[in-house]
Structure 1
Amino acid sequence: MKPKVSQTFRRFLFSYLVILIIPNIAGYMTYRTSIDAAERNSIDTSLLLLKQSKDVLERRMSEVQNFTRQLAINQDITMIMNESVKKNSYNIYGLWKTWRDVSYYDKTNDFLQNYYIYLNNYDVVLTPATIYYRPLHYYELNHYSDLTFEEWKKTVISNSHQDTIMPLRPYIRNKTESFVITYIQSLPLNSFSAPKGTVVVVIDESKLSSMLMSFSNQYGGWAYITDKHGKTLASAGIDNDEIDRLGLMTVPPEQERETREFVDDTLRITIRSESSGWIYAAGIPRAALMEQANMIKHMTWTVTAAALAVGLLICLLLAYRSSTPINRLVRIVREQMGHDADAAYNDYDFLHGNIASLIHDNRLLETELNRQIPLVQDAFIKRLLRGEFHSLHEIRTAASQSGTEFQGDCGYVGIIRINGYSGMNTEEILNELQAARLLIKQTIRTMDAVSAITDLDSDKIAVIRSFASEPGKAERREAEKQIHELRSILTAEYRISVSISFGSSFHSPSDISRSFEEARRAMEHAAAASSDGQPIWYEEIWKETTTFYYPIDQEIRLLSAMKAGGIHEAKRIVDQIFVQNFAERGLSADMSQQLIGELKGTILKLIDHKAIHDSGEAELLQNRTVQLMLSEGVDQVRSELEDILEQICDLIARKKSENENETVGKIREAVEARFGDANFTLYQIADTLGRPEKYISQLFKEQTGEHISDYLEKIRIKNASALLFDSDLTIDEIAVRTGYNSSHSFRRAFKRVQGVSPSLYRQSASE
């Protein structure tokens, strides 16, 4: 089958082409929307820029106005203005103090850098820099070009003003001419006829025009500001004649605060200030507004053309890559299932039918596996009750594999026996018991979802109830409450009578078998004593007995703990044995001696183990064990026994450490002997030592802190460094001698370890 011309290839190619075309159509619509949005955005940005300029200017002018208000309420100015002045008599200190109070205002706002205060009674002018005792002296340095001294004095400083703004006019300051607007306020405020003083703020046009420069610099347009009478206050990019010509055309109607329209390919924007009535106008060429949109247009067409060309190539490649595995899969399925090339109408229908069959078979297999999970869990619980696990790690691993979860490592084991069926083994009775067990287990899981449950006999069920911490009286009361509730439900709804027994609490999963054995003994006691239906706890039954309690599973757990060097687990088991036999039972002297003899036998079995028997301490440990006598007292025997166990575990741990060190040494020897073999692997080391690969890899990492592969590389580079220093071999020859398949991999490894390339290392060594 040729994927380039197959039906599958054509289908993929058509689908990819459709996928390619649809985004391009959507992209074109987006492109048109983007162009319109870019134009609107430019207009909105320009309007926003003009509004920001207006807001900034009005805020600055408001600060100027607030400045005059502060002067109006200044006590020193008020006092000096209201003083009666005799001819040529000045309150020098008062004037100086007033000047000092107002001299710092020019630092707070650049609009206040050029202001002065005229006091009528003293006929003086106060500026931030000095005091002019003759207004003429101030006029000679600072005056309007089109006003004489008398006109200036009459119209500006002597006349009454209320927030008066003088429009743009020429102004000479320190013999330098510029254009300014002037803010004038009489003092006190609301002085309509005869003001006692006047505050004049002279604002340079450049400070206002700087707020409009972005329209001319950024867009190549123009902007200006006029007062409500049409008098120019500031401009940028446009002269006064042009402003006069455009004045009436750009003034917005009274009912509108802002306008925007295109006139002669120029966007004209106007804003009327609600507070001052000033008109802010700006003009921006359409070409400047559409600069961003034109850039988007150019980039869009360029990228679209390139994307289409690349997209077509990708469509061909993807169609080929996507159809090839399908064609190969179809061919394999047809060969395996014996279908010819025309067996199916098309490849997809053919695969659909066969894969659907595979999925169906897989689901059946999955269903069967899920049905087996309860059996696996039940088998794990039964092994746990019988004590067939030898270590806590083994228990946790098996629990994880079976999907069994415990709430904690502590708890109780209980046995539930269905009453009234003893000795009945007919098929009808067995079916009835099976139904009763199912009902009991369902009821228990409804009440307590964390309990592990398994069947023991046809009429018995074992329950493992786990807790996160050691159960106390509160947990026991809660358990008895649940037992009472369980009995009530079984009696009321199913007419099932049960007997329940519990072993003493376990503190580790490895103790579950012991708790189960105690629960079984408690159940036997309940049957013999004709219990009244209340749950039987192992601790509550009479423990006076003529035999000691040391089951085989407990001995096996003790031996396993000691062989693993687990002294804490071994001591815990010994403590448990002594508590069960000497604290909870009333053993006779003979039974006590027999129990000690059994414990001594267990220890002697362990001493006969090769790891201990071959050591020089075995005989001493045997003698100490044989000499253990109960006549020394139970506590003394237990202490001596635990000391012997500690020495045995320490001996086993040391022997294990020696064996591990010996194994690590053999690994080092093997690596140093065969590092030049490029095919040398971990498997060969494991085969030489007769140990699993995972074991020796983990052991070497634990003992040395590095992986075997890293150690092998270090040995190889060490020998390569020596050859580079002492021999005339080429780098390729050294790479082969030190176990590298290629000089490239050798160079990379050498630089990774030594920090330099082999050639540089050889050069530096020779130098």
Structure 2
Amino acid sequence: MLQKIRKNNRSVITTWLISYLSVLLVPIVISMILYSATHSLVEKEINRANELLLTQIEMSIDSKLKGLEQLSLEVALNKNVSSFANVEKPLFDDHYYQLFNIAESLRTYQRANDYIEQIYVMYANSDTVVSTFNHTDSRGLFTLMKPGKETSFEEWRRLFDQKYVYKYSPMKYWNEGTAMSGVMFARSLVLNNPLQPYPILIILINENKLLESIPKYNDSSLLILDRDNRFIAASKDKQELQENLPSERLLGKKGLVYAEMNHDKAALSYVTSELTGWKYVSVLPAEIFNEKMEYLKAITRMGIALGLLIGIIVTIIFLRKNYMPIQVLLQNMTQRSGFRFDGKSNEYSFLQNALHHTFIEKDEISKLLKLHNNTIRAHFLTRLLKGQLEKKLSLTDSFAAHNVHFVTDRFAVLLFSIDAYGKLQTDEADASFGQETQMLHFVLSNVIEELAGGDATVYSTEMNELTACIVNLKPLLSNEEEDLVLIRMATQTQAFIKEHIHAEMTIAVSGVHNDVYGISQSYQEALETLEHRIVRGNGQVILYKEISMEAACSGRNYYYPLSVEQQLVYYVKTGNLSKSRALLGEIYETNFKDHPVSVPLAKCLLFNLASTMLKTLDEVSSISKRNFEAHAEDVERLLNCDTVQDMMAHMNRVLEQVCEWIQTDKKNQHTYLIDDIRDYIQTHFRDVNLNISMIGESFSLTPSYVSKIFKEHTGESLLDLINHTRLSAAKVLLSEHNLTINEVAWRVGYADVSTFLRIFKKFEGMTPGKYQKI
């Protein structure tokens, strides 16, 4: 390989070697830059670590100080403390009892907060200071605290002469004869009487207990300063830190400064509390920086040297490894293309020329394929929808060969079923399976590709008299946006076809799936969705997501119990059209309105309803004078209905005609019955036993039914007809024969003359005797 470099410097090996060596310089330059930035980075990291430590300390101490704020409010609300504010000298026994109670309350507060050393309440009116164990005056408190020899009592006393006192201050105090360091928190207790001086709550905090929560680090010192940069506490070496700390340089809320501390350079990180204004300072020796810098410097030098060594070795290995495929490719191209590599140009130029001639041959083959491109692509899309692709072949090559370009891995399928061809409808018997279908498929393919716009890429093909569209959705769409794009494409296509061609179609929209192998699953979902046309009806856009949710929510059988079937049969047999339609509507609403049943159950229900109608017509025809053989063809048409809506509409038409015939037959039958009853009464009115029961028994009917039927069809009660018939005969006898009233009553069927007189007067308005005289 190196000999080739010497022979011909035009070879790609020379270019690669120079490139690899240039690349090796990049990590060296980067290492130098990183090394120059190391000091700043280490400084920031250590400062950040110190700030985190100081923030933890700040939060810990501030939580204790917030507890003091809450404690001061509780003391102000204490009745014993507030009631003594108005007391003035001299003090009496009751006042001393109050002081005892106040001290007792203060002891309670002290026990609840173990970091509190002592609690005092100073009353200006009576110059009384109450603690947890006794009481004294302000001078006694001054003697106890001993703020310093240079501070007089008057100067100390002026600290508390303000109208409202609120301060933290470092303080020395005596505890069992020992001088202790601590922090004094003083705050006025605001009471209800603004005319009296406010009592002042003084709380002493032990320095050691205040620092209990501060982590201990061997390399650094931690200290606390108040608002005036006075020392409050320190973790160690307090005296040295107090003498050498450059507190005037600690400006701002937080920061990092370098200073000479006891002849050594140190880094000071500090943060300031928002609650108290205290500064929390971390002092770290600068030696730590130098130690880490030397360590990083050694690592950087070692890394550069190791990188150069490994880089040179890897360069040689990969230079040889990368050139081997080109060498093999040159040999193959030389053998197959007829070109020979002479070494006058580099390898890439030779390969470019060889590939150029190969592409020319490929273009000639592509021109031949384009002549049959549509048919081949339709076949390819059909196999893609059915999931019958050869997995051994490269999908990328297959897509490119068939001019199919998918930009994302999100796919769905739209399935179009033609319900009516509209303007494309012809009179030829086989046109809908040939020319019409092809024409509408062509229109659909162009319309949906146009309506897809920039939201998706669409490829269409014919699938068993259906038009199937593979929709490849654009990237960066959410699931909701993908659903909206599919619905928009389906509804706009349906509206366009209906407006311009007047064709009706049902569109099934599948779910969205990943990967091209999910296209076949989308196609199966679309086929399953299209079956729901039986439930939804023609001319609908049906979504797979909706039917999936409906199937998940239903989980039930269809509603058509035996009692409802018997009730429907009864309504039809009695000719009650309104109730038959209402019951049929109830069956439809229950099974298909809110939570439609599944398609298999819907088919079962259709067959069940058709069976009920056939059975009912058979029973009606056996007892009616009508011939219902023609309705057997109606039932056959019911079974051939494509949708539930079509079946319900056809069944309502059959019900209307059957019930009309039954009502006509019933009406004729009742007319014959009324005439027979009239003849029977005319023949038997002289019989004293003639009544409604006798008539019912003669016609094998119940008395109530006979009376009801007669009243409904004549408007006259059956008893009135009997009386009218008898009275008509009585009037003839009264006018033509010289008979007594009793004889007339007996001859016309009245066994009791008083009943005859009463009924005669009721209907004729006079007695039989007066009628006979007239």
The alignment's TM-score, normalised by the length of structure 2, stands at 0.44
Say which one has the larger Rg: 2
The alignment's TM-score, normalised by the length of structure 1, stands at 0.45
